[in-house]
Every structure is written in C-alpha cells, then in structure tokens.
Structure 1
Amino acid sequence: MSVDEKLFEELSIRIKEARDVLRNVIHRTPLQASKTLSDLTNSEVYLKLENLQKTGAFKVRGAYYKLQKLARSGVKSVVAASSGNHAQGVAYSASLLGIKSTIVMPRYTPFYKVNATKSYGAEVVLHGETYDDAYLKALEIAEKTGSPFVHPFNDPDIIAGQGTIGVEIFEDLSNVDLVLVPVGGGGLISGIAVALKKLKPDVKVVGVQPRGAPAMYLSFHEKRIVETPQVNSIADGVIVKRPGDLTLRIMEEFVDDVVLVDDREIARAMFLLLERVKTVAEPAGALSVAALTSGAVSAEGKRVVAVVSGGNVDPALLVRILGQVLYAEGRQVRIQGVLPDKPGQLKKVIDVVSELGLNIVEIQHERLNPLLSPGMAQVTLGLEVPSREYADMLILKLKAQGLDFKVI
C-alpha cells in the first residue's frame, strides 16, 4: 500500500469515527434543491446549507472532533488562530467539553465575529493584519503556555471532521455528479473529497477560491506550495496566504480541479441566494454558487451540490453588497442633473419620477459646488426601478420637460 493509499484509508476511518462523535453534537444540515439555480445553469442544483450549522459554519465539525480527542487525553486548554469561523467552532466546542480556549484573531476582524467568539467563553487576542499574522502569534502563545495549537485546516482530525459533510451529501444524493466546495487552506474540500471518493469514486470534486486570494489555486495547479504575499477579497473566511502541505497533498490526489471567481461574482451569488433561495451566505460561503452562476464551472446536465459553507456575514458588509448588486443589475440607478435653485424645480423632477411609478431611495441637493453657476443646484437621485429601461424612459421624459439629467 502506497503512502497516499495509507493516508486515504486512515482519513476514511477517522471520518467514520467523526460521524459517530458528532452525531448528537451538530446539526445534520439540509441538502436543498434550488429550481432557480437549476434553471440558470441548465443542471440539477442542490445546496448543502452549512450556513445553518451551529455557530453558523461548518468549522464546528472539525473543531469538536479534534477537541474531544484532546479532552480524552487530558488536555485542559487549547490555542487557535482564525479570522472568524474556526474561532467560533473551537470556542463553542471547548465550552461543551470544559476546555479553556485562547483564540488569536487579526486586528481588523469584524466586531460581531470577535463578540460571537467571546460569547462562547474564549479569551480573544487581537493581533496582526491577516490570518497568517494571527497564526504566528498563536503558535507563540501555544509554546509559551504548553497548550496544543488547533490548526484550522492542516490537521487530519480537522479534515476528518469536515469530511462528514461528504458522507451526508452521499446519503442524501447518492447519484451526485459534481460537488463544488469553497477553498481557503483546503481542510473542508480535503475532507469532503476523501469521503466522497471512498463512497463514489467517479464523483467530481471542484474547489472554488477568490481571485484576490488564490494561494491554493496556484499551489494546486503548480503542484507545489505557492505563497501569495498580497491578498484581498470580500471572502475573508478563506483568505490564506499559504495553504497547508497536508491539504495540498490530499487535494492533488482526490480533487479534480480548483477554479477562481472574483468579488463581483461572489457578491452576485450572495444576492441571488438571499433573494431567490431565501438563505444568507457569507462571501466565503457563496463561492461555490458563484462558480456556477459565473460560468467558472460548467454544470450543464449534471446533478450538482454546491456547499454553502457559512452564513456569518457582517450586516454592514451585506448592506453594501446588496446595494452594489442592485445598481450593477440595473435594479437601482442614480440620475444627476443641474436645476435652477428656485422653489418648485425639484418637484418637477419628482412628479416625472412619480408618473413612472418609481421609488426614490435618496436625494442629494448640492448648491455650494464651485463648479456650478451661481443660482444653480446639482441634484442626484437614487431610484428603485424594475429595469434599466425605466431609467432611460425617465431621462427622456425629463428632457421633454426641459430638465437635463443623465444616469451616472
């Protein structure tokens, strides 16, 4: 038996054990069919909704399986590093098992993620700009205190815990053709791929990573560890500069491909999930759907499972994303023009807007701009419209009234 065969068998055994350990601890999340996504992609699409998992993400699976093994061996405290979901998974699991947890998070981690981690009883240390900075600090704390470091992805127990998702997918859809999985460091897709290839060797498993943080994509395609010094994406849950050597090794053996999507495609997928599927996904959680809707992966005629890995999105970010997508989709527009700064002039514009049945969401009225002629005011309106065609009709009607406006 080769080294890789031994690893495959060892991980398969651990995944089976993790399934038993987690049975009464976590939610068995639903596999939900999506007619909207199926129609858009000419395929049969199902969503594995790990955003409905305890702590709002899949991470609790690997964290609890790892920590219960440590607890059985007498460990009383652990250290971890995370930008959010692993932190909450470790903190929650530690609280169930009576273990003290110290979590190092990047300094600019959203407050709601920090507070959620603290609410599970963890001591939170804020350090560094990125996960990798927090990781080095966590290793330092672990060495100083003698507490085990719980790695978010490059650990066979963590990988095995995440692999239970693959077992559930097979049990609910044994004839699945293609499974799409968000990728950061590779722990989630490694576990899912091993579980599925054990149960259905011909299934295709494809990873999806943001274009602004492509470390695993590059590593997978170049067959070596590639570190990306500069990373930037709204999908903060999968931003990793350097992937794991264990996860890369597993992915090279059992994952069929890794693709990239950009932040606009991720935002559109989040919007689609919220509007049509009625589910909230964080940017990292929407990666698999973004791969489908952007065409990064061709799913035509296939039975596809897209793993929605988490739903812990900053409400302020969600509002910004929804607003940007509404403008990008032509569902909201901004028009701008210059009017005489006299009573009744703005009412003329509003009357035309009302005649078309459009809704005003904001009005900006600026008269102090030095580029304007004295006695004139610049007016900008944000509008909700059924489609971009309505904006064009509005501009024509305003021109007919002698009002010169344009879409900006």
Structure 2
Amino acid sequence: MISLSDVEAARDRIDDVVRRTPLEYSGAFSDITGADVRLKLENFQRTGAFKLRGATNRIATLSAAEREAGVVTASAGNHAQGVALAATRSGVDATIVMPEHAPISKVKATERYGGRAVLHGADYDEAQAKAHEIEREENRTYVHAFDDDAVMAGQGTLGLEIVDECPEVDAVVVPVGGGGLISGVATAVTAETDARVIGVQAEGAASLPESLRSGEIHERDAVNTIADGIATRKVGDRPFAVIETRVDEVVTVSDEEIAVAMTYLLERSKTLVEGAGAAPMAALLFEAFDYDAGETIVPALCGGNIDTNQLTTVLVRGLVETGRYLKIRTVLRDRPGALEKLVEIIAAARANIYAVQHDRTSRDVAVNEADIEIDIETRGHDHIDAVLDALERAGYQVEVLA
C-alpha cells in the first residue's frame, strides 16, 4: 500500500512537468451550501486534468530498456493525454487505446501531445483489453490509468497541494472511477490532517458502494454516464485496498445532478469542468453526504476536458433541471392567427421564446391542424408552472418535452 513518502517522492519527480493548480475560495458556493467552499481547480492543469500527475511519475520510474521499448495504455481521454505528454517530455514512444466513442476533442488532443491514438471498443474495459494485446505483441510497458502504485502516488500530489494551502480543511471530495486519484489524495490528506475524504461516483458507473459493503471488488456489466472520465466498471485492486482503509465515505450522484453542477460552476464561478470534475460539486450541492455549516470543504474539480457537442447537451440538461428551459408541444387549428394567439399567451406570462417548429404535415395531427413545438426560456420551476397554467386555462393541451 502506498505511503505518504511515496507521494512526497512523486512530487519531487514531477515538479518540472506538472503545474501546481489554484485552490480558490468560492463565495457563491459557500453562500449556497453554508459551508466554507474552496475549489481545487485541477481543470487548469496541463492537459486539462489530474492524470498528468500519475502518468509523469510512472514514466519517470521506467528502466532504460522500458523507455526504449515504449509504453501503451488505455484511456477514456484524460489519462491518454497525460501519458502522451509525459512520454513525449521523456522521449518515450506512447500508444494509447481509446474507446470508439471517446470525445473527438480528447482524441485530437492526445495526438497533439505526441501519442498514437488507437480507437477500439465500446468502453474503457474493451479498450484496455486491446491495449494489453499491444503490450504483449510489441513488448511495451503498460501504464495503468489507476491500478499502479506509481500512478496513485503521482495523483496524490494533488492532496499534498490541498493540505499545503488549506491545512484547516475538514473534508475533501473526490470523484472516483478506477480509484487512482482518491487513493493517492486520501494517502496524503489523512497522513497530514484529520479531514474526511469522501468519494463520489456517478450512479450509472457506481461499483464502489457495493464493493465496500461486500468487502470485495464488484464489477458492473456496463456503465452509462455523462461523466466519461469516471466511467469504469470497477475500481482497481490497489486503489480498493487504500480506499477501504483511508476513505471515509463514498456517495453517488445522478447525471442530472452532475449537469446542474456543471451549469452552476460555469455561471457562478466562470469555471468549465467536465462531468467527472463536476461530480464532487454535485455531491455537495445535493447534500449526498452530511456536513455542518461552516465546515471547510474542498471539491476536487479534477478535469475540464469536455467535447463541445456534449457540453451543449449537458448545459441544456442543466437548464431543464433548474427550471430555466422548457420545451413544449401542442396542436393548433391550421388557421391564420392561431400561432400568434399562442405566442401572445406565452409572452403575457413573461417567458421568452427561443424557437418555434410549425409542422402541418405531421401524421400525428388532423389535416386541418398543425403540430407545434416551442423552446422557451424560463426563470425557474414556479415560472414554468405559471406558463403551463396560462396555456391550459386558455384551452391548450400541452405536452412537456423537456
């Protein structure tokens, strides 16, 4: 099991590559939660995520023969970029296998950092199987994304930075996929402070709560979450041993809650994070764990690499969940002025229309009717109720689509 000295040694090895990221007080989230919230902005890390820490430390420990043969790894995106950059900086050839659905932005970034990207499989685990094939065929060293002591120790340097800048911390909240980050952070934080370490998994990829209940690693059949950075079927053996001993609690959050957290972070802190990075904030905002007013809590915003197309979808989901966006469908008589009357009612309710789709040819309506879909900007759930009530009082049958 890794120790504090392993994490401290990693800090020395990676110092010339890895950026010390900011730890900033958030007045907005402190007001919302009642806690003293400090954001660990690891999304400002080189490559946009914490994975560079562990990758750099692991590659620094390669033998001369291993460096000559090169490395291979599997990754959903962030570890790929970390390995690519760390290997390039060390003059080591790197092949990275990524799932076929990996965000194109992460694939392109991996290649820009000098790695050779190979797309294979539906998820991380299938990509990992392919990477091990390449490991055997080309005699490369496999750099595991999380189940490796040197990688875990490298990730733990994030915890050292938190303790250095905020020794009074009461709780550190960390996203969990394979467990490399939280095992390293927990090793650093619990050795230096009495702070709690709380893990967060997305509901669609949560294997750790069941693993901790049973005392053995539980593997999911599949994963489904917008937080692709923590979309793994199970935690690693080495991280699990550390988590059992040093992590206080593991909670789960829904994709809807993650989307709200991403939206709030962008609006309130002008901070763009990916789904995995927003999971700790989601746990804090939706009180997935207990905390007292005034406690100093550090959510680790572990990465900011999100595909632009996915960002659009997630932000719309966040607006829907917070009552800021409404999409409705209704049917109008196909006659002059019918649409104008509908729009007037929405305007009288002080709602703003984004878009209108007017379809006379839909097979779902009569020949003398038109199918109408309207996207509406609203100010909250009470405002949505007021808009819907006004339409229903005017005789419209409304279906809420989003």
Q: Same fold (TM over 0.5)?
A: yes
Residue matched to 2:152: 159
Q: 1:47-90, CA deviations, whole angstroms, 9 ceiling, x for partnerless residues?
A: 11111110010000010111122166661211111111000000
Q: 1:127 to 1:303 in 2, by over 3 A?
A: same
Q: 1:222-241, CA deviations, whole angstroms, 9 ceiling, x for partnerless residues?
A: 22121111221111111222
For 1:395 and 1:177, the matched residues in 2 are separated by 44
**Residues 395 and 405 in structure 1, CA contact (< 8 A), matched pair in contact too:** no
Letter of the 1:145 counterpart: E
1:294 and 2:286 equivalent?
Answer: yes
Residue matched to 1:103: 96
Residue matched to 2:177: 184
SS of residue matched to 1:107: coil
Residue matched to 1:45: 37
Residue matched to 2:128: 135
**Residues 269 and 290 in structure 1, CA contact (< 8 A), matched pair in contact too:** yes
Residue matched to 1:250: 242
**Residues 41 and 300 in structure 1, CA contact (< 8 A), matched pair in contact too:** no
**Residues 190 and 250 in structure 1, CA contact (< 8 A), matched pair in contact too:** yes
Report how far residue 397 of structure 1 moved: 5.2
Q: 1:291-336, CA deviations, whole angstroms, 9 ceiling, x for partnerless residues?
A: 1111111122311111011111111111111112212222122343
Gapped regions of structure 1 (runs ≥ 5): 1-6
Q: 1:276 to 1:138 in 2, by over 3 A?
A: same
Residue matched to 2:106: 113
Residue matched to 2:191: 198
**Residues 47 and 306 in structure 1, CA contact (< 8 A), matched pair in contact too:** yes
For the aligned residues, what is the CA RMSD? 1.9
SS of residue matched to 2:109: helix
Letter of the 1:362 counterpart: A
**Residues 225 and 231 in structure 2, CA contact (< 8 A), matched pair in contact too:** yes
Residue matched to 1:404: 396
Report how far residue 26 of structure 1 moved: 1.7
Gapped regions of structure 2 (runs ≥ 5): none
Quote the sequence identity (%). 41
SS of residue matched to 1:209: strand
**Residues 102 and 122 in structure 1, CA contact (< 8 A), matched pair in contact too:** yes
Q: 1:324-377, CA deviations, whole angstroms, 9 ceiling, x for partnerless residues?
A: 221222212234333232233222333344445432111111212334333221
For 1:291 and 1:84, the matched residues in 2 are separated by 23
330-339 vs 117-126, greater mean Cα deviation: 330-339
Residue matched to 1:337: 330
Q: 1:60 to 1:323 in 2, by over 3 A?
A: same
SS of residue matched to 2:356: strand
Residue correspondences, number: 398
1:316 and 2:312 equivalent?
Answer: no
**Residues 330 and 396 in structure 2, CA contact (< 8 A), matched pair in contact too:** yes
Equivalent of 1:261 in 218, 241, 253? 253
Residue matched to 1:35: 27
Counterparts of 1:80-95 in structure 2 under 5 Å? Answer: 80-95=73-88
For 1:216 and 1:388, the matched residues in 2 are separated by 34
For 1:91 and 1:304, the matched residues in 2 are separated by 33
Residue matched to 2:360: 367
**Residues 333 and 407 in structure 1, CA contact (< 8 A), matched pair in contact too:** no
Q: What is the TM-score when the length of structure 1 is the normalising length? A: 0.92
Q: 1:13 to 1:40 in 2, by over 3 A?
A: same
Equivalent of 1:63 in 44, 49, 55? 55
Residue matched to 1:4: none
Equivalent of 1:23 in 11, 15, 18? 15
Report how far residue 217 of structure 1 moved: 2.6
SS of residue matched to 1:337: strand
330-339 vs 184-193, greater mean Cα deviation: 330-339
Report how far residue 384 of structure 1 moved: 0.7
For 1:389 and 1:221, the matched residues in 2 are separated by 40
SS of residue matched to 1:342: coil
Report how far residue 220 of structure 1 moved: 2.4
SS of residue matched to 1:233: coil
SS of residue matched to 2:224: coil
SS of residue matched to 2:169: coil
296-305 vs 97-106, greater mean Cα deviation: 296-305
Report how far residue 187 of structure 1 moved: 0.5
**Residues 23 and 39 in structure 2, CA contact (< 8 A), matched pair in contact too:** yes
Letter of the 2:362 counterpart: N
Q: 1:130-176, CA deviations, whole angstroms, 9 ceiling, x for partnerless residues?
A: 11111111111111111111011111110111111111001111011
For 1:31 and 1:221, the matched residues in 2 are separated by 33
Residue matched to 2:268: 276
